[in-house]
Amino acid sequence: MGQRLSVWLVAPPARPAAATPQPPPTSPVPPAAAPPTPPTPPTPATPPKPCSVKAVAIPTLWQYVIDAYIDLVCGGVLDNRAALEGYTHGERVLFGQPEQDPLGVLSTTLFFLRFHGIVDLSWKSRQTAAVALTCFHKLATSQRTLRSLRTVERVVRRFLLPREEAVVYNLHALVDRHVALELRLVWKCDMLHFAQTSPMAAVEERLWELLKAEQLVERAVIMIRAIAFFFLANALLDGDYKSNFEIYNVYELGSAVVGLAVVCARRAWHKIDHCSDLIGKHRKIAVKLLAATRRTQALRVAAYSDTTHTLSTGRCVTAANLDAVAATLATAALPPPAPPRPATR
């Protein structure tokens, strides 16, 4: 990664307030018709005391899913190692951590939930999130160990709120329901198509184009890919995703994420203040992504907070580096437009 990151980003052809919590039901509604026979809800041993969602510091469903995924991977419940076999040990440490979403499982799950309007913290929404997460994880890793009911139980427990896990004793019903809902989700939804058309898939497509064009080497692709989720997640967590980003197609968003990541990496890793190759619509989207990220600052954890290594992603997303990149994007002159092509006869 001693080379400069030079990317000419030219677009290709078009293409809840306080409330008394209720025992969590066991039949979340994934994006399909309601199940024919609702299962028995989990039975509490004693009624839980009133407690608001705010009291347990769960800001949004998005943040809850992110935290749950990180815990499940770090705890060895969800295994990413085989799918990252092409990474060296150093690349796994710096660029293959769960908060960097190296397999796209987390980002695809978050956008799947958003696409289907699953945004609250009810048990229905959280179990649907758990089901989608394990389905996309299986799709990305072919991990057979997820067939173990013990593994599924650990996933289900992580998606319960602490007060829920303390009082629910028929957990086996939740575990059985999780397995049934996985089958239902795969039957009703084209999971592969959704994974291949998510914003993170667009990021990977753009990186592949740059690799083929020899504008990035393989190691640089891995490094830039590790930064991408930071901007996508903060765009979701900011709260204005619909008005700011849904007006663009997926490829435009993915290309802008790559462009912004490259500009941030240049400054942080190579002390190069250069953004003139980030142009057009991609530049406009990148400015919005940067603004949302500077407002939110919600994902600066683990690898995104570690600045000890010279080439760590944490260096790329420090507040100081993002401020400097924002100033550059605001003041740097754009390259002159390309001359018109001569008319053909």
User: Is the pLDDT reported for residue 57 higher than 80?
Assistant: no
What is the token pair recorded at 166?
A: 């303390």
pLDDT of 83? 87
Residues 50 and 22: beta-carbon distance below 8 Å: no
Q: Return the percentage of the chain with pLDDT > 70, whole number.
A: 78
Average pLDDT over residues 294-323: 93
H helices then E strands: how many in the chain?
A: 15, 0
**pLDDT-based confidence at residue 109 (cuts at 50, 70, 90):** very high
What whole-number distance in Å separates Cα of residue 59 and Cα of residue 64? 8
Q: Backbone phi, then psi, for 198, in 5-degree steps?
A: -85, 165
Please state, in angstroms and rounded to a whole number, the distance separating the CA atoms of residues 48 and 40. Answer: 18
Highest mean pLDDT among 35-49, 65-79, 138-152: 65-79
pLDDT of 267 higher than 90 = yes
- 333 pLDDT band, cuts 50/70/90, is low
Over the stretch 170-218, which tens digit does the pLDDT of each residue have?
A: 899 999 999 999 999 999 999 999 999 999 999 999 999 999 999 999 9
Which residue has tokens 């997820």?
146
Residue 18 has pLDDT above 70, yes or no: no
Do the beta carbons of residue 58 and residue 121 sit within 8 Å?
yes
DSSP letter (8 states) at residue 249: -
Average pLDDT of the residues in 136-143: 87
User: What DSSP line would sit under 129-146, residue for residue?
Assistant: HHHHHHHHHHHHH--GGG
The pLDDT of residue 142 is 80
Q: Is the pLDDT of residue 104 over 50?
A: yes
Task: Report the run of H or E that residue 294 belongs to, with start and end.
Answer: helix 280-296
| Contact status, residue 213 vs residue 9, Cβ threshold 8 Å | no
pLDDT, tens digit, 9 for 90 and up, residues 150-160: 899 999 999 99
The residue-averaged pLDDT of 47-59 equals: 38
Q: What integer pLDDT is reported at residue 240 of this predicted model?
A: 86
Res. 36: pLDDT tops 50:
no
Sign of dihedral through CA atoms 286, 288, 289, 290? positive
What pLDDT is recorded for position 112?
A: 96
**CA max distance for the chain:** 83
pLDDT value, residue 343: 66
Q: How far apart are CA 150 and CA 76, in angstroms?
A: 13
Are 96 and 223 within 8 A, CB to CB? Answer: no
Please tell me whether residue 66 adopts helix, strand or coil conformation: helix
Q: CA 150, CA 75: separation in Å to the nearest integer?
A: 14
Of 252, 247, 262, 255, the closest CA to residue 204 belongs to 255
Paired strand residues for 44: 168
CA distance 95 to 303: 8
Mean pLDDT of the chain: 83
DSSP secondary structure string for all residues of 159-201: TS-HHHHHHB--HHHHHHHHHHHHHHHHHHS-HHHHHHTSHHH
Task: Kindly state the tokens that stand for 287.
Answer: 């400015």
Q: Is the pLDDT of residue 2 over 70?
A: no
Q: What are phi and psi of 168, to 5 degrees?
A: -85, 125
- Residue that wins the pLDDT comparison between 50 and 269: 269
pLDDT digits (tens, 9 = 90+) for 221-250: 999 999 999 999 999 888 889 899 999 999
More confidently predicted of 185 and 60: 185
pTM comes to 0.81
Each domain of the chain, given as residue ranges in start order, spans 54-192, 195-331
pLDDT score for 81: 84
Percent of the chain at pLDDT > 90 equals 67
pLDDT at residue 27, as a whole number:
40
Q: In angstroms, rounded to a whole number, what is the distance separating the alpha carbons of residues 91 and 86?
A: 9
pLDDT tier at 60, thresholds 50, 70, 90: confident
272, 72 Cβ separation under 8 angstroms = no
